[in-house]
Every structure is written in structure tokens, then in C-alpha cells.
Amino acid sequence: MNASVKAVLVSAVASGQGKTTVTAALARKLVRSGMRVRVFKTGPDFLDPMMLQQAAGMPVQSLDLWMVGPAHCRKLLAEASADTDVILIEGVMGLYDGTPSSADLARAFGVPVLAVIDASAMAQTAGALVLGLRDYGPVDLAGVIANRVGSPGHARMIRDAMRGVPLLATLARQEESLPERHLGLVQPGEIASIDILLDRIADALVLDMEAWQALPPVAFTDEHAVEPLEPLLRGKTIAVARDAAFAFLYPANLDCLRELGAELVFFSPLENQPVPAQVDAVYLPGGYPELHAQRLSQAQEWQASIRRAHAEQRPILAECGGMMALADSLIDASGHAWPMAGLLRGQVLMQKRLAALGSQGWATPQGQLRGHAFHYSRLETDVALFARTIKHPSGDAGEAIYRHGSLTASYFHAYFPSCPQAVAALFLNGAGA
């Protein structure tokens, strides 16, 4: 597979510069002009991809040299390039932050960088910032998008300071921005006027179309045939919780389960829907159970069904928010304790301080299952540790993994394609490690 397509990696000097807003605005603008646009997100993330999917109208996959791996990243890019006009990759944190960094990803696949700068409190100094971003690595710098520009005159000063680097677009300060909460952006489904907001931001993005069209295409090749996965889950049906409380789910995880041969059915604990009776296993991904604690505590049919599935020894994998919903109780930010399903002894306490953030791996008998952790709560339990993840790249101890009967629970979010065999073992008998 070998195709060339216009592609850029959208990055910045730090978080908070407006990468997601700019990427979403650019995607929406290009889609409305008739282009086929695929967007990817660098690193472990659930919320930004939801917003980018809303903007582009296509699923957003993750790219990460460690968690996803170079081979799978190459495959995803090559597949996308075969039937699209533009590939946008939103970076993570600052351009050179992390191991591996967004710059590492850009260099690995020959993708030029589009630098987003928050120009609200600078003018000519923007040139020094941009040239530093380009030369530190270095990276191939395609151009700049200046965010939070105050006026046309302000934009001209920034353009004149670029010393030959194209100013591809400007975005004025917006009265409305993409709303956020403690884990990041608010989910698009919670914003009634999300498409109107995205259209407004896209309208406000002043794109130099001539400079954009002048960007050279990038060739993505995937010459190594990937062996299909052994259908270890053939004949198995897995129930996946999916609603506003359980929405943190890599699209690649569902793809991986299907490639392993599983049939997937979806249900909503938030709507008090029970675990379907005919399924062989249950997957409870992360999300925001703390925002829906009262409804979950009153969902008696859902709670009884998950306890029944556990009593029948059907494998259950509960990640982060999924685990929180299975504790005895969840204590929200106001201190109110809400009863949960009670499969895992202990209580979950919300806190203002970030409890964990970063990439982690779980060493299983089938290989290392990679993923990440990101949460603002802690679990107080006397359940013995079954295993513990290892943080990347430090090698320090990471998240606790608990095993109670057929239940495997942890704050760890696994990226299933990193070790499909371990995932199959978890859903076959709960003994993936």
C-alpha cells in the first residue's frame, strides 16, 4: 500500500495553546470545502478525539510510537491515505515533550509540523518562538497558525516576524470556546449546539488557501503484510458499556475485539439497561461515572445484572470509570457517598489533585499490554493486588490491578492492539496475567 496525501502534524510549544480548537476548526473548514479529511490524535487520549471526530465526521484513531507502535501507526496512516485528501494529526503537550514526543512521531513518518502559537500576548517575538520550535529538533516546519489574534494589524506583525515561515492561518479570539472540565474537554454529546460552535470557529479561521495548496504531499507506505489475528474469541459475545458515563474507549479496541472474532453488543448502565443475558463477557470502559453517580446508584437493574454476571463467572474487564462503578461506593467532589454495584470492596473518592497521568504497560504471560492512566480519584480497598503496571519510560510502579473472581479491574486503560493475545485471555477466562 503506497499513497501520497497532504498531511501535517499540528503541535505547539505547550498545552493550552489551542491545538484541539485549531485542528477541529481546520478539519471542519476543509470538510466543508469538499475535501475528505482524516484526523488522528497523538498519544493516549479519549476526549480530544471525540471533538475531532465531531469536526471531521470520521472516527479518530490514536498514533503513538510506544503505545500503538511504529508498525501499527504506519498501517493506520497508509490505510487512511488511500481514500482521503488530507490527514491532520493533533500532537500532544508541547512539540518536544514526552518520550516519545510529537516531534518523534512527525520525523518517523516524514510529516511536516504545523505550529500553533497563542499570539494573544506577543507580536514579533512569535517569530523567535516559531524558529526555536523548528530548529531545536529540528523538524520540517510546514507553517504556523496564529491563535487568539487581536486584529488584522496584529496578524501582519506576526506574519512579518516569521522570516520565511508561512503563516498559513489565523484565528481571532473567540467569545465561545470548546468547554472543559477536570479531565479535559466536555464530550461533544453534552453540548447541544456543538456543530454550530464548530462551524463558527471554522468560519473564524482565516486560511491562506494558496499556501495550504502549496504544501507538498506526504507518501505513506505499508509494504509489510500484517498477519490476521488468530480468532481466539470466535463464537464469543462481549457486552460493552457505552453511554455518557462510559465513553472513554479507543476505537481500535473495538476493532481488535472484532478482529479476534468476538461479536459486540452495547448497553447503557446509565439508562439502567442490564447486561444482556446471552453474552460471554463484559467490558466496562472508563468515563465519567462521578458526574452521573446518582443515576448509577439508582440503576438497580444494571447493578443486579452485573452482580449476576459475576456470580456466573463471566469475565468482566473494568477500566478506570468502569472500576469506579463496581466499588461499594463513590464519594463525589461534594463529599456525598453514592452506592455502586459492590463487586469490588472499598470506596472511590474524588479529589481535586490529579492522581495519575501517563503511559503504562502491564507485563502479562502473553506479552506487554500497553496503555495509560489518567484519573482524579483514588480507590480505598483491602483487596489484594493481583499485579501492577509499570510506568513508561521511568519504569516506576504504576497502577494496581485487582482480580476478584472473574473480575479484572484497574485504573489502567489498555490499548488492545498492543497485545491482542493478552486481551483474548482476559475475555476468555479472566486470567490474562
CA atoms within 13 Å, Cβ hemisphere of 184: 23
Class of domain 237-429: alpha beta
Task: List the strands of the sheet with 413-414, edge to edge.
Answer: 263-267, 237-241, 281-284, 316-319, 407-410, 397-404, 385-391, 356-364, 367-375, 413-414
pLDDT of residue 353: 86
Between strands 205-207 and 167-172, the pairing is antiparallel
Which are the contacts of 12, defined by CB distance < 8 A and separation ≥ 6?
18, 19, 91, 94, 95, 115, 116, 117, 118
Evaluate if residue 261 carries a pLDDT over 50: yes
pLDDT of residue 411: 97
Evaluate if residue 147 carries a pLDDT over 90: yes
Low-confidence winner among 25-29, 96-100, 187-191, 333-337 (lowest mean pLDDT):
187-191
Alpha carbon distances (Å) from 61 to 52, 226, 373: 10, 18, 18
pLDDT of residue 72: 93
Residue 194 pLDDT grade (very low, low, confident, very high; cuts 50, 70, 90): confident
Q: Which three cell numbers stand for residue 382?
A: 483491602
Name the 3-class secondary structure at 16.
Answer: coil
Residue 431 pLDDT grade (very low, low, confident, very high; cuts 50, 70, 90): very low
Residue 173 pLDDT grade (very low, low, confident, very high; cuts 50, 70, 90): confident
Looking at the DSSP bridge assignments, the partners of residue 184 are: 181
Evaluate if residue 433 carries a pLDDT over 50: no
Residue with cell 447503557: 268
Evaluate if residue 182 carries a pLDDT over 60: no
Q: For residue 11, report the phi and psi dihedrals to the nearest 5 degrees.
A: -135, -175
Percent of the chain's residues with pLDDT above 70: 94
Alpha carbon distances (Å) from 369 to 71, 421, 433: 16, 9, 10
Mean pLDDT, the chain, integer: 93
Q: What DSSP line would sit under 306-350, residue for residue?
A: HHHHHHTT--EEEETHHHHTTEEEEE-TTS-EEE---SEEEEEEE
Question: What pLDDT digit, counting tens, does each position of 380-410 carry?
Answer: 999 999 999 999 999 999 999 999 999 999 9
Alpha carbon distances (Å) from 113 to 31, 143, 200: 20, 7, 25
Distance of alpha carbon 38 from alpha carbon 251, whole angstroms: 14
The H-or-E segment that residue 382 falls in is: none
Q: Report the candidate in 115, 133, 111, 88 with the shortest Cα–Cα distance to residue 170.
A: 115
Question: What pLDDT digit, counting tens, does each position of 26-54 carry?
Answer: 999 999 999 999 999 999 988 889 999 99
CA atoms within 13 Å, Cβ hemisphere of 191: 19
CATH code 3.40.50.300 for 2-221: yes
Task: Give residue 381's identity as a one-letter amino acid code.
Answer: T
Distance of alpha carbon 181 from alpha carbon 55, whole angstroms: 20
Give the residue with greater pLDDT, 391 vs 173: 391
> From the CB of residue 255, how many other CB atoms can be counted at a distance below 10 Å?
14
The H-or-E segment that residue 432 falls in is: none
**Per-residue pLDDT averaged across 162-186, rounded?**
76
Residue 227 pLDDT grade (very low, low, confident, very high; cuts 50, 70, 90): confident
Evaluate if residue 224 carries a pLDDT over 90: no
Evaluate if residue 180 carries a pLDDT over 70: no
pLDDT of residue 347: 97
Boundaries of every domain in the chain: 2-221, 237-429
> Percent helix, strand and coil across the chain, each rounded to 5?
30, 30, 35
pLDDT of residue 432: 44
Question: What pLDDT digit, counting tens, does each position of 93-113 carry?
Answer: 999 999 999 999 999 999 999
Distance of alpha carbon 411 from alpha carbon 347, whole angstroms: 14
Q: What DSSP line would sit under 80-92, residue for residue?
A: HHTT-SEEEEE--
Residue with cell 494496581: 400
Evaluate if residue 190 carries a pLDDT over 70: no
Residue 150 CB-density burial (10 A; 0-12 exposed, 13-18 middle, 19+ buried): middle
Active site annotation includes 320: yes
Q: Which of these is catalytic: 73, 256, 320, 419?
A: 320
Evaluate if residue 178 carries a pLDDT over 70: no
Evaluate if residue 2 carries a pLDDT over 60: no
Distance of alpha carbon 344 from alpha carbon 323, whole angstroms: 8
Residue 209 pLDDT grade (very low, low, confident, very high; cuts 50, 70, 90): very high
DSSP secondary structure code for residue 15 in this structure: T
Distance of alpha carbon 256 from alpha carbon 2, whole angstroms: 24
